Every structure is written in C-alpha cells, then in structure tokens.
Amino acid sequence: MIELRNLSVKFGEKVIFDGFHLDLPDTGVVVLMGESGVGKTTLLRVLCGVLKPNAGTISGLEERRVSIAFQEPRLLEWQTALENVASVSDMKIAKMLLAQLSMEGELHAKAATLSGGQKQRVSLARAFAYGNDVVLLDEPFTGLDDENKVRAAALIRSARLAIVVTHDETDAILLNADKKILL
C-alpha cells in the first residue's frame, strides 16, 4: 500500500494540501478526479518525486519503478517516435508498445511532425517502456479519438498500478477503475 500522511504542499501563500492523508492500493487502476486547481497534477508530481512536499511522508514507493506521462507529452522533438520510447527501454519493447497504440506507421517520424494525439500516444508508450510498477498518467486521453482511447485504456489496465488523473467521467468508466478518488 502507498500511504501519504500529513502531506502539505504550498506554492507561496497558496495551499494545495494541508495535512492530507491518502491510501492507495498496490495494484489496479486508481482514478483521481476533481475540479481544476484541487491538486490532482500536484499529487502526481509529488508521487513521482518531481515536487517535494513542504511536509508529510510518502511510504510504499521505495522499491518501485515509477513512471509518468504528463498532460503535455514532453517529447524530444528532434527524435523519432521510436527513439523517444526506446530512450527509456529498448527498441523491441518500444516497437511493441507503439504498435499496441497503433503508431507502427509513425515509428520513424520526428516527434515535431506528429499530431497532438500521436504525441500523446508516444508519451504513453514511453511511460510504459520505462516500467509499469507504478504508472502516473495526467489526462492520458487528451487528443485521442474513441478508437485510440480504447487502445490506450487497455494498455493502462495492464499496469501493475496506474494512477490516472482525468476530468472526464466517461474516461473513468472506460478505464474500469478499481478505485475512484474525488479530490
């Protein structure tokens, strides 16, 4: 179990979390939902270690490989789709994940030339290529059509633990989440 205890996160005078507690399971799909500005993305950033909380503890992640796909794909624009994914794994795994997300026709396309939805799929593939002990996903369906949402949802459900931020209730339903948390 992943346990967050007495978590406090502040940006200047703005308090995002103050004495926040949360228990997350070891496996399954957890969906975090809530209004804009309640701290969903901040929570993912804390969980992956990109943001250090002002106070509190997080336990249960010490021996796990944690990957993240941010709201913006954050690809290396001068690299191909395949190179972006293989940069955290190997070519075989990268090709397999990109094929699973229907990107086999764009393997050698530079990231700068891809559409928004294609970039999103490359970002998802990269998060899974790094490892899937814990995969943190911030709005993973942005820019995807219905068919590609279904493919992405299947990949997400394959993670040991996926923690997904979404604003869309239909996305939570598509993921068949094991746990839904309203922040």
pLDDT digits 0-9 by tens, 117-144: 999 999 999 999 998 799 999 999 999 9
- Cβ contacts of residue 76 below 8 Å, gap of 6+? 83, 84, 87, 111
Which pTM value belongs to this model?
A: 0.94
CA angle 114, 118, 120 (to 5 degrees): 120
Whole-angstrom distance, CA of residue 54 vs CA of residue 76 = 31
Question: Tens digits of per-residue pLDDT, 74-101?
Answer: 999 999 999 999 999 999 999 999 999 9
What tokens does 86 get? Answer: 């293989």
Phi, psi values for residue 86, rounded to 5°: -70, -15
CA distances from 156 to 1, 110, 111 (A): 19, 25, 22
What's the CA angle centered on 179, arms 176 and 183, to 5 degrees? 120
6-60: pLDDT as tens digits: 999 999 999 999 999 999 999 999 999 988 889 999 999 999 999 999 999 999 9
The structure tokens listed for 49 are 């270690």
Alpha-carbon distance of 105 to 177, in angstroms, equals: 31
d(CA 163, CA 59): 16
CB 30 within 8 A of CB 182: no
- Which position has the token pair 């929570």? 43
The full DSSP string for 26-67 is: SSEEEEEE-STTSSHHHHHHHHTTSS--SEEEEES-TTS-EE
Domain positions in the chain are 2-182
Domain covering 2-182 assigned CATH 3.30.460.10 in the classification:
no
